[in-house]
């Protein structure tokens, strides 16, 4: 039967061409035109994502456009090459942040994070006011940004938050920022936080103290290198454990101490995660 069909096509070239045209050429042409239309549409609707353009969107765009542009701006600022250094840009950022107090909270949140990415202390004063925001996300973003720009005048305020605030998320953000600011006035506050009821606060306090050159939290970091330690915290998944250990190893590579040598040897020989094992071997070879 198949041979008869093939012979029929051989004897009738026009029929063979019609089949080729129907089942191959037309679908191919539709696909090509579809792809061309897609790229043409993308080119016509493409908007250049530079900081000034995004600021303009935040100023005059629709509600959705404003917070999305603020989000894109905070991401854009992760590349230092994209951060303008002229006074006009900084003044516009400050003005936008002031005005955002009555806007969608996400605009203010992402503007604060964008300010932090600049590492420019000129944003310190306005971010200090953001710490007093009623919105939790805005408050935390301002605290994180103050740490990112290493704004030392914020140390007293963040010290008070760590000591007295009832919200653990706010306290945790303050601990992390104090570790970046590295003001000596925070030492006793952070040492006290090593006994906090919240595990994340204890862990990040140990990291903060180590960044500040204190050895008071080293025993906590040593525990965090042991996988069995995390069995006390069933809500911490394996990815979080891996990331935590890698974070501690990165800190140890900058601040090596004899207390970590035994755990590093264990990780370098028995750890199943390749990144952790190789990083441990590297630290041992360079510092021990």
Q: Specify if 35 maps to a domain.
A: no
Examine the domain organization and report whether 130 and 176 are in the same domain: no
Q: Specify if 224 maps to a domain.
A: yes
Provide the domain limits for residue 202: 154-214
What does the pLDDT profile of the chain (288 residues) look like in tens digits?
544 444 544 454 554 445 444 555 556 566 666 666 555 544 444 455 688 899 999 988 888 899 999 999 999 988 888 888 889 999 999 999 999 998 999 999 999 999 999 999 999 999 999 999 999 999 999 999 999 999 999 999 999 999 987 899 999 999 999 999 999 999 999 999 999 999 999 999 999 999 999 999 999 999 999 999 999 898 899 999 999 999 999 999 999 999 999 999 999 999 999 999 999 999 999 999
Q: Specify if 189 maps to a domain.
A: yes
Q: What is the pTM of this model?
A: 0.80
Q: Specify if 10 maps to a domain.
A: no
Of 105, 130, 149, which marks where a domain is finished? Answer: 149
Q: Specify if 25 maps to a domain.
A: no
Split into its structural domains, the chain has a count of 3
Examine the domain organization and report whether 60 and 144 are in the same domain: yes
Examine the domain organization and report whether 202 and 233 are in the same domain: no
DSSP codes of every residue in the chain: -HHHHHHHHHH-HHHHHHHHIIIIIHHHHHHHHHHHHHHHHHHHH-----HHHHHHHHHHS-HHHHHHHHHHHHHHTTSGGG---SHHHHHHHHHHHHHGGGS-HHHHHHHHHHHHHHT-GGGHHHHHHHTT-SSHHHHHHHHHHHHHTT-GGGHHHHHHHHHH-S-HHHHHHHHHHHHHH--GGGHHHHHHHTT-SSHHHHHHHHHHHHHTT--TTHHHHHHHT-GGGGGG-TTS-HHHHHHHHHHHHHHHHHS--GGGHHHHHHHHHH-SSHHHHHHHHHHHHHH-
Q: Specify if 20 maps to a domain.
A: no
């Amino acid at each position: 039967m198949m041979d008869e069909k093939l012979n029929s096509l051989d004897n009738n070239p026009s029929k063979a061409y019609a089949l080729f045209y129907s089942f191959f050429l037309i679908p191919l042409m539709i696909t090509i035109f579809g792809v061309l239309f897609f790229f043409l549409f993308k080119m016509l609707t493409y908007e250049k994502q530079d900081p000034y353009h995004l600021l303009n969107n935040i100023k005059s765009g629709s509600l959705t456009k404003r917070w999305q542009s603020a989000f894109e701006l905070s991401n854009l600022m992760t590349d230092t090459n994209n951060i303008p250094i002229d006074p006009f840009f900084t003044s516009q950022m400050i003005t936008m942040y002031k005005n955002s107090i009555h806007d969608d909270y996400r605009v203010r949140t992402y503007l604060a994070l964008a300010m932090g990415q600049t590492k420019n202390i000129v944003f310190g004063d306005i971010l200090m006011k953001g710490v007093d925001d009623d919105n939790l996300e805005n408050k935390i973003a301002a605290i994180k940004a103050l740490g990112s720009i290493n704004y030392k005048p914020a140390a007293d305020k963040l010290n008070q938050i760590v000591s007295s605030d009832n919200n653990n998320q706010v306290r945790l953000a303050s601990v992390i920022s104090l570790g970046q600011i590295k003001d000596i006035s925070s030492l006793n506050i952070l040492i006290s936080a090593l006994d906090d009821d919240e595990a994340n606060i204890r862990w990040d306090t140990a990291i903060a103290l180590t960044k500040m050159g204190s050895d008071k939290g080293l025993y906590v970091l040593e525990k965090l290198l042991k996988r069995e330690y995390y069995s006390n915290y069933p809500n911490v998944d394996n990815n979080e454990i891996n990331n935590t250990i890698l974070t501690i190893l990165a800190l140890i590579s900058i601040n090596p101490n004899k207390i970590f040598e035994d755990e590093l040897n264990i990780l370098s020989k028995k750890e199943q995660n390749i990144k952790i094992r190789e990083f441990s071997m590297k630290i041992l070879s360079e510092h021990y």
